[in-house]
A and B are shown apart, each in its own frame.
Chain A
């Protein structure tokens, strides 16, 4: 049983890859390799999308490099595809590790015909009903109260699903965040809140967001446990999430987990982070690379596959993403008349008229 409200983050493996404390590994080699693979896949996806952006093929991307252990750890700690996720906009590592199809993620970023969201949102705001990954909203903390509502519905329906709601540190400053957590506590809703504290909300550091000692401690005010976890340690994140998620599932009410991590890249493709943070700081955290830390652990345990195997996996991921990207670009874009779909369940008369207006305009072109 992990302890809530600790001053030091919960950690399993140190920077040197050695175990910290006494604990026994409950994962087999194949599962460990899967964690590594999912982190590497998220990293490579990041790199590919940045390239895609530079080529002008998409207009926006929010990198998650540096946050892989947090996002992959969350995905492996929940019942992916069964539990509902109300994510935030930087959760591609979580999505991919939770089984969200790569092609759907890419199609959304390109706004092509295959986009499940039909090209309605800015790139990188994906969602899939099939994977219970609710379509992302740009409004910060906007997903928190709805996540509570989904969890309340799950409880009412007698389901053993839980809801997972992720957000960055900046979101914890919003009124909706407090409102959502407060209601979840009162309703004992089966919702697991996870703060991916990457220490920067665009250019505003964590000290601008809160005067409290981190985020986890805020859980106390809402009558739920708060766990402070080393977000660069994929094993710690996975284990804490798994344990807490099962407790939430068993009807003990909501919980908050804070994963302390860092985004190595800029906030978004429109951001220049050299204006607000030092290169020393970025380099310091680049040195705390979660993938490298995990590799050192696997090495120490004698479980790291040989270099050839690892580069083979990387090559496989590269080929997979390249293939999906190449294919996605040829899928065409939504046609003009789709603009009017899904505003309402049915097309009301005023939209019917506007659609007709646009039809005539399109035909005149």
Chain B
């Protein structure tokens, strides 16, 4: 994975860098934003002394005090709701929901308040907040610790939806999200938290939402994905390369907004598109990507757009590895695309 560190589209790394994994990059982003903006507050379950169950907020309470980094009652509705009220009053809350699977008690606050208050008030009130939450499978977490619910949020106007797959992007996207004047649902693929390290600048930089990263250039086939599936997508591309097939790999990085231009450019170039994600297949966000690709490039495609996704089952604990779309499933789908 280090081969793809520092996406080609990211700025030159002149400053001092440090080797970080994804969770450490999240921690650094939070630390930097808290240092530079007193309006940034962090709260959620176990984020204080404990530093979060995955240690995303490790050391932050010690540095910034319990006024700015604090534990809340075990209630997603009040965590999200309080974030909305704080944001409306001028703060920049960053709330942690311990697992994306636990967001549901707070979802009305997200859908009815966070996403809508700007619109329904005609722009008089805004909710610039970030909800960080670990999502996805691959850590043998079982049903309620493995789901990929991002499509629900992409279907809600007013929300921005982000999912990084590298430490560099995690830091840059999170910093950008905190500074945005919109509510952001920031999914962190938990299986990548400690999967690898890469060079991350210690200085300030942001990665804008809505810009995909070109992980690998190629001309025979485009693999487009985001989040937890990206390392496998890159491995699949490398395997195909050995067979003489040139594969382009694109990491969307954010789903709302998403980089339609980068996707269409790549699809027009290769004529073959494989969409990968681990969320359940039906009404998966990639369905939207597929739809746009066929609408815009119908006569330039060499094959139908194909999708490798999770299954339309609740997440199965014992079949964790089977459920996830690994390299082999991607290769089989690629073979079908290439044979078409």
A pairs with B: yes
User: Of residues 218 to 261 in B, which have CB atoms within 8 Å of A's CB atoms?
Assistant: 256-258, 260-261
Known: A135-B117, A137-B120, A156-B41. A183 touches B72 (CB 8 A): yes
Q: Is the CB of B83 within 8 A of A142?
A: no
Q: How far is the CB of A190 from chain B (nearest CB, A)?
A: 12
CA distance A230 to B105 in the complex (A): 34
A341 on the interface (CB 8 Å rule)? yes
Stretch among A123-131, A290-298, A356-364 lining the B interface: A123-131
> In this assembly, does A18 line the interface, its C-beta being within 8 Å of a C-beta of chain B?
no
Given contacts A117-B121, A127-B124, A128-B124, whether A84 and B89 have CB atoms under 8 Å apart is yes
Contact yes or no, A179 B77, CB < 8 A: yes
Query: Quick check: A344 and B182 within 8 Å, CB to CB?
Result: yes
A175 interface contact, C-beta 8 A: yes
Binds A, one of B17-25, B106-114, B166-174, B319-327: B106-114
Q: For the complex, is B126 an interface residue (Cβ under 8 Å from A)?
A: yes
Closest to A125 in B: B120
**B121 and A142: CB pair below 8 A?**
no
- Of all chain A residues, the one with the shortest Cβ separation from B43 is A152
- From A125, A342, A349, residue with most partner B Cβ within 10 Å: A342
Q: Assess the A180–B81 pair: CB atoms within 8 A.
A: yes
A 179-195 contacts with B by CB, 8 A: 179-180, 182-183, 186-187
Identity of the chain B residue whose Cβ is nearest the Cβ of A129 in the assembled complex:
B124
* Contacting residues, chain B, for A135 (C-beta < 8 A): 117, 120-122, 124-125
Cα A341 to Cα B86 with chains together (Å): 23
Residue of A at shortest CB range from B257? A348
Given contacts A344-B182, A348-B210, whether A152 and B86 have CB atoms under 8 Å apart is yes
How many residue-residue contacts, CB under 8 A, span A and B?
162
Contact B82 A146 (CB under 8 A): yes
Is the pair A176, B124 in contact by a Cβ cutoff of 8 Å? no
How far apart are the CA atoms of A343 and B121 in the complex, in Å?
10
Instruction: Flag whether A134 is at the interface (Cβ < 8 A).
Output: yes
How far is it, in angstroms, between the C-alpha of A107 and the C-alpha of B328 when the chains are bound? Answer: 60
Q: Is the CB of B105 within 8 A of A345?
A: no
Q: How large is the interface on B (under 10, 10 to 19, 20 to 34, 35 or more residues)?
A: 35 or more
Any B CB within 8 A of the CB of A227 = no
Cα-based distance from A350 to B209 in the complex (angstroms): 13
**Contact mask B148-160 → A, CB, 8 Å, 1/0?**
0000000001101
In the complex, what residues of A have CB within 8 A of residue B261's CB?
A: 349
Bound CA–CA A59/B158 (angstroms): 26
Cβ-defined contact, A342 with B86, below 8 A: no
**B19 CB, nearest partner CB in chain A, Å:** 34
**Contact digits for A68-102, partner B, Cβ 8 Å, 1 yes 0 no:** 00000000000000001010000000000000000
B41, B67, B77, most chain A CB atoms within 10 A: B77
Find out whether the CB atom of B116 lies under 8 angstroms from the CB atom of A127: no
Asked whether A64 is an interface residue with its Cβ less than 8 Å from the other chain, the reply is no
Q: Is the CB of B125 within 8 A of A176?
A: no
The answer to whether B80 has its CB under 8 Å from any CB of chain A is: yes
Say if the beta carbon of A148 comes within 8 Å of chain B: yes
* Given known A142-B108, A344-B158, contact A349–B81 (CB-CB < 8 A): no
Q: A40: CB under 8 A from chain B? A: no
With the chains together, A268 CA to B113 CA distance in Å? 23
CA distance A152 to B129 in the complex (A): 15
Given the complex, which residues of A lie within 8 Å of B210, measured CB to CB? 348-349
Question: Measured between C-beta atoms, what is the minimum distance from A25 to chain B in Å?
Answer: 36
Query: Which of B119, B157, B182 counts the most A-chain CB atoms under 10 A from its CB?
Result: B119
Contact A153 B91 (CB under 8 A): yes
B97 → chain A, closest Cβ, in Å?
A: 14
**Complex Cα spacing A156 to B119, Å:** 27
Given contacts A84-B89, A150-B85, contact A115 B122 (CB under 8 A): yes
Given contacts A176-B77, A176-B109, A186-B73, contact A127 B121 (CB under 8 A): yes
**B86 x A150 contact (CB < 8 A):** yes
Asked if B276 lies at the interface with its beta carbon under 8 angstroms from chain A, I say no
> Within the complex, which residue of B72, B88, B182 is in contact with A146, where a contact is CB–CB below 8 Å?
B88
Chain A residues with CB below 8 A from B82, complex form: 145-146, 148-149, 152, 183, 187
Given known contacts A129-B121, A156-B67, A183-B78, A146 and B113 CB-to-CB distance under 8 angstroms: yes
CA distance A351 to B257 in the complex (A): 10
Q: How far is the CA of A348 from the CA of B118 in the complex (A)?
A: 15
A157 proximal to B (CB < 8 A): yes
Residues B55-81 near A (CB distance < 8 A): 67-68, 72-73, 75, 77-78, 80-81
Interface string of A135-171 (1 = CB under 8 A from B): 1010100111111111111101100000100000000
B73: chain A residues at CB < 8 Å are: 179, 182-183, 186
Could you tell me if A145 and B109 are in contact, using CB atoms closer than 8 angstroms? yes
Asked whether A146 and B109 contact (CB < 8 A) given A86-B85, A152-B82, A350-B260, the answer is yes
- What separation, in Å, do the CA atoms of A221 and B143 have in the docked complex? 33
A118, CB-defined interface residue at 8 Å: yes
B108/A129 in contact, CB under 8 A: no
Whether a CB of chain A sits under 8 angstroms from the CB of B314 is no
A358–chain B nearest beta-carbon distance, Å: 15
Taking each of B83, B90, B113, B120, which has the highest tally of chain A beta carbons within 10 Å of its own beta carbon?
B120
Interface residues of B in 254-280 (CB under 8 A from A): 256-258, 260-261
Let me know if B122 and A342 touch, CB within 8 A. Answer: yes
CA distance A84 to B93 in the complex (A): 19
Cβ proximity bits B207-221 to A, threshold 8 Å, 1 near / 0 not = 000100000000000
Give residues in A with beta carbon < 8 Å to B.
Answer: 84, 86, 115-118, 120-121, 125, 127-129, 134-135, 137, 139, 142-154, 156-157, 163, 175-176, 179-180, 182-183, 186-187, 341-345, 348-350
A sample of 16 cross-chain residue pairs with beta-carbon separation below 8 angstroms, ordered by A number, consists of: A86-B85, A117-B120, A120-B121, A134-B121, A145-B80, A149-B87, A150-B89, A153-B89, A153-B90, A175-B77, A176-B78, A180-B81, A183-B75, A348-B256, A348-B257, A350-B260
Which 9 A-B residue pairings sit nearest by Cβ, starting from the closest?
A: A145-B81, A149-B85, A149-B82, A135-B121, A146-B85, A118-B122, A345-B181, A153-B89, A150-B85
